[in-house]
């Protein structure tokens, strides 16, 4: 039976310092070299690639919660699910109503990801920008008037703030059928992420698409946070790490060791002995 293994990164495969431990890299890297189909589905964009390079991942990975699929062999995105322009404009209207504009991701198949923002609202967003502003795979541009057009494909909105600040925005955006919003805690601070993308683009949809592409018979997924729920739900076998949020544990078919104790790697390695 051909099994596809897909894991979330932050809070699931990575430790509390957002690092891939030497043990996890070695154990999973060995399994991949032996033919195991292993990849990730993450809210990250190309910042995920450095971790996958350490593992020598050979199959596509799912980025931005299912919006993009990345081919490691050719170093390029092979699939993109953009938002409908009218939906993107409606989200911009909602954000302006709440006076809380986000980072807005736009995608060009030739130039890659372009991120626009009007202002940085807190220290976490400032750090997010400082860490990423010089990357060659993503450009940032500050503007006073963010908009959406058919020519500029909006693919993603993301912001970081206090839960109480984001919840009413999340509730309003969730009234739109053409988009999917996810609100979940940041693994490294006491803040929350609010992310919005096409309703056709989720981790769950990306996993099922990849399963079909690879001709896998079953898919096993690993997660820890609210944006992993649907992915676990559509899997043949969904696994939560020990430090996952309660809702993910309730959804999971199995709970394994903690993310910071190599839970995913230890579980995968144990399958060799069965």
Q: Kindly report, residue by residue over 68-110, the tens digit of the pLDDT.
A: 999 988 888 999 999 999 999 999 999 999 999 999 999 987 6
Question: What CATH number is associated with residue 14?
Answer: 3.40.50.1000
- What's the rounded mean pLDDT across residues 199-226? 96
Tokens at 54, concatenated: 């350490």
pLDDT of the residue at 274? 53
Residue that is written with structure tokens 């931005």 in the block = 64
Under DSSP, is residue 175 helix (H, G, I), strand (E, B) or coil?
A: coil
Question: In which domain, by residue range, is 40 found?
Answer: 3-80+202-271
pLDDT at 73: 86
Domain boundary among 163, 198, 233: 198
pLDDT at 166: 97
Higher pLDDT, 203 or 47: 203
pLDDT reading at 267 higher than 80: yes
Strand-pair category, 192-198 with 153-161:
antiparallel
pLDDT at 10: 96
3-state secondary structure of 116: strand
pLDDT at 142: 93
Are the C-beta atoms of 258 and 271 separated by less than 8 Å? no
- Pair 188, 225 in one domain: no
Q: What is the CATH number for 106?
A: 3.30.1240
The Cα 170–Cα 239 span in angstroms is 27
pLDDT at 131: 83
* Residues 207 and 163 reside in one and the same domain: no
Whether residue 208 sits in one domain with residue 76: yes
pLDDT score at 273: 58
User: Could you tell me if 240 and 255 are in contact, meaning their C-beta atoms sit under 8 angstroms apart?
Assistant: yes
Q: Are residues 108 and 183 in the same domain?
A: yes
Mean pLDDT for all residues in the chain: 93
Would you say 83 and 155 are in contact if contact means Cβ atoms under 8 Å apart? Answer: yes
| Tokens matching residue 160 | 């970081």
Give the whole-angstrom CA distance, residue 15 versus residue 212.
30
pLDDT digits (tens, 9 = 90+) for 127-172: 888 888 877 677 899 999 899 988 888 999 999 999 999 999 999 9
Whether the CB-CB separation of 101 and 95 falls below 8 Å is answered with yes
Bridge-based pairing of strands 3-7 and 37-40 is: parallel
Domain boundary among 198, 221, 250: 198
Read off the pTM: 0.90
- C-alpha distance from residue 260 to each of 47, 163, 242, 256 (Å): 20, 25, 10, 12
Total domains in the fold of the chain: 2
pLDDT of amino acid 136: 66
Determine the Cα–Cα distance for residues 98 and 166; give it in Å rounded to an integer: 9
pLDDT for res 151? 84
Domain final position from 198, 219, 246? 198
Indicate if 179 and 92 belong to the same structural domain.
yes
Token look-up 């699931």 returns 12
Q: Average pLDDT in the 23-51 region?
A: 95
Whether 175 and 238 share a structural domain: no
In whole angstroms, give the CA distance from residue 180 to residue 127: 26
Contact 113, 103 (CB under 8 A): no
């Amino acid at each position: 039976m051909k099994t596809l293994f897909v894991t979330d990164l932050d809070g699931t495969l990575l430790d509390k310092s957002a690092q891939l431990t030497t043990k996890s890299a070695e154990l999973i890297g060995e399994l991949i070299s032996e033919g195991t189909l292993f990849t990730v589905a993450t809210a990250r964009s190309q910042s995920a690639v450095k971790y996958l390079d350490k593992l020598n991942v050979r199959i596509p990975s799912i980025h931005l919660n299912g919006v993009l699929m990345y081919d490691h062999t050719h170093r390029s995105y092979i699939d993109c699910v953009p938002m409908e322009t009218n939906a993107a404009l409606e989200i911009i209207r909602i954000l302006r109503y709440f006076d809380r504009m986000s980072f807005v991701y736009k995608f060009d198949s030739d130039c890659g990801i372009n991120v626009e923002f009007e202002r940085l609202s807190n220290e976490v967003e400032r750090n997010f920008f400082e860490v990423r502003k010089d990357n060659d795979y993503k450009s940032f541009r500050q503007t006073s008037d963010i908009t959406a057009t058919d020519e500029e494909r909006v693919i993603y909105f993301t912001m970081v703030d206090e839960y109480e600040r984001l919840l009413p925005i999340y509730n309003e955006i969730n009234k739109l059928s053409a988009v999917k919003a996810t609100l979940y805690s940041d693994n490294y601070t006491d803040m929350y992420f609010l992310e919005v993308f096409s309703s056709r683009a989720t981790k769950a949809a990306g996993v099922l698409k990849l399963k079909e592409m690879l001709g896998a018979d079953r898919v096993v997924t690993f997660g820890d946070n609210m944006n992993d729920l649907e992915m676990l739900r559509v899997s043949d076998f969904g696994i939560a790490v020990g430090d996952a949020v309660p809702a993910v544990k309730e959804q999971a078919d199995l709970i394994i060791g903690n993310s910071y104790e190599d839970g995913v790697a230890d579980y995968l390695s144990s399958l060799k002995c069965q």
